[in-house]
């Protein structure tokens, strides 16, 4: 178990990506105008999903990109376990990054003589709100990248999705990426729906993880399957 965890930690670690994420949260925490903790929560809900896109989009494609997908499929009978372990590692890393952003924000407020003790939002609420939107967009990007075997398409689609909800930020919808901003008094139910979508996409990807590396190309992306899908909808 420990060796498997260590292997996945090693294979998931990307210095460039992690350094970019670290620089990003430092810039967000220090230079974005947020006079209150409430404002900072809004900012993080909007911009932290970029970390999800960066870290999650290619989780399912690592073996393919390293040309070991077939070997892994033949030799490993529990690829679902590997997938969930990798997702947990990245999910935990995202949570740590967001928590670190929270610490940096409070530190710069402390040294700037500001106090956020009377804010109407707690650190736990901040963490849940920021993690929810980040995991949702990151998991969506991962799913698209997995199905199409192309992380760049996943990046593009995710950015378009983010941009749409950034423009329509106050629109009431279960698909709104920013439920806290859209409905600050009743955001909890929408965040629960977000986590529901995340769980659904996780189960979908776990099912695909156990399939042959050629399953998606052979079964889901054939001209016949696409034609059937178009006719159905």
pLDDT at 1: 54
Contact 143, 204 (CB under 8 A): yes
Question: What is the rounded average pLDDT for all residues in the chain?
Answer: 83
Q: What angle do the packed helices 188-209 and 79-111 form, to 10 degrees?
A: 140
Q: What angle do the packed helices 49-56 and 79-111 form, to 10 degrees?
A: 150
If pLDDT is split at 50, 70 and 90, which confidence band does 111 have? confident
**Angstrom distance (rounded) from CA 215 to CA 212:** 5
Task: Work out the percent of the chain whose per-residue pLDDT is above 70.
Answer: 79
Say yes or no to pLDDT of 47 above 90. Answer: yes
Say yes or no to pLDDT of 67 above 60. Answer: no
**Lowest mean pLDDT segment, chosen from 63-72, 84-93, 203-212, 222-231:** 222-231
Mean pLDDT of 42-46: 96
> For residue range 70-97, what is the model confidence (pLDDT) as tens digits?
444 445 557 788 888 889 999 999 999 9
Mean pLDDT of 208-224: 55
Domain boundaries, the chain: 2-232
> For residue range 133-185, what is the model confidence (pLDDT) as tens digits?
999 999 999 999 888 888 899 999 999 999 999 999 999 899 999 999 998 88
Identify the H or E element spanning 172: none
**Angstrom distance (rounded) from CA 62 to CA 83:** 11
> Would you give the DSSP letter of residue 218?
I
pTM of the model: 0.83
**Angstrom distance (rounded) from CA 161 to CA 116:** 32
**Angstrom distance (rounded) from CA 41 to CA 58:** 27
Contact 83, 206 (CB under 8 A): yes
Residue with tokens 């776990």: 206
Q: Which residue has the higher pLDDT, 187 or 115?
A: 187
Helices (H), ranges, 48-168: 49-56, 62-65, 69-75, 79-111, 123-148, 151-167
pLDDT at 229: 41
Say yes or no to pLDDT of 39 above 80. Answer: yes
Mean pLDDT of 29-48: 93
């Amino acid at each position: 178990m420990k060796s498997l965890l260590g292997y996945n930690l090693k294979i998931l670690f990307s210095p460039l990506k992690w350094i970019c994420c670290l620089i990003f949260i430092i810039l967000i925490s220090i230079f974005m105008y947020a006079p209150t903790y409430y404002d900072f929560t809004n900012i993080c809900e909007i911009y932290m999903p970029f970390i999800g896109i960066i870290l999650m989009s290619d989780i399912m494609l690592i073996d393919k990109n390293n040309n070991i997908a077939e070997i892994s499929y033949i030799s490993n009978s529990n690829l679902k376990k590997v997938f969930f372990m990798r997702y947990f590692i990245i999910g935990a890393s995202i949570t740590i990054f967001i928590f670190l952003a929270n610490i940096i924000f409070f530190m710069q407020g402390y040294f700037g003589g500001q106090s956020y003790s009377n804010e109407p939002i707690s650190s736990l609420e901040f963490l849940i709100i920021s993690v929810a939107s980040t995991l949702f967009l990151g998991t969506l990007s991962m799913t698209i990248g997995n199905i199409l075997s192309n992380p760049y398409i996943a990046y593009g689609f995710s950015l378009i999705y983010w941009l749409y909800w950034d423009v329509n930020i106050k629109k009431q919808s279960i698909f709104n990426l920013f439920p806290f901003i859209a409905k600050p008094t009743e955001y909890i139910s929408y965040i629960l729906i977000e986590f529901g979508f995340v769980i659904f996409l996780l189960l979908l990807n776990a099912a695909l993880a156990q399939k042959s590396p050629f399953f998606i190309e052979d079964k889901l992306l054939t001209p016949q399957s696409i034609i059937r899908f178009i006719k159905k909808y």
